[in-house]
Amino acid sequence: MEFQEVNNWDELNLKDDLLRGIYSYGFENPSPIQAKAVSPIKEGKDVIAQAQSGTGKTGAFSVSCLQRIDEKKKKFKH
């Protein structure tokens, strides 16, 4: 399956607060693994990603998970 790669964080259609947090920590552009993996993960698709240590795999997972949180819901899903 092919995934579309983005060039910047704005193209990922992330929540404003999440995007502000990413930029405030100095991350100007997603790494190559983040550019490919964030969109399908945030859509709930299964992704197997392989890249060198320190390239942003954990960031891709974290950003995607934070994007999927519905802040309006006050209950936890078990």
| Whole-model pTM over 0.75 | yes
Per-residue pLDDT of the chain (78 residues; tens, 9 = 90+): 566 778 999 999 999 999 999 999 999 999 999 999 999 999 999 999 899 999 999 999 999 999 999 888 877 766
Rounded Cα gap, residues 13 and 11, in angstroms: 6
Rounded Cα gap, residues 54 and 78, in angstroms: 32
Rounded Cα gap, residues 12 and 3, in angstroms: 13
Rounded Cα gap, residues 14 and 43, in angstroms: 12
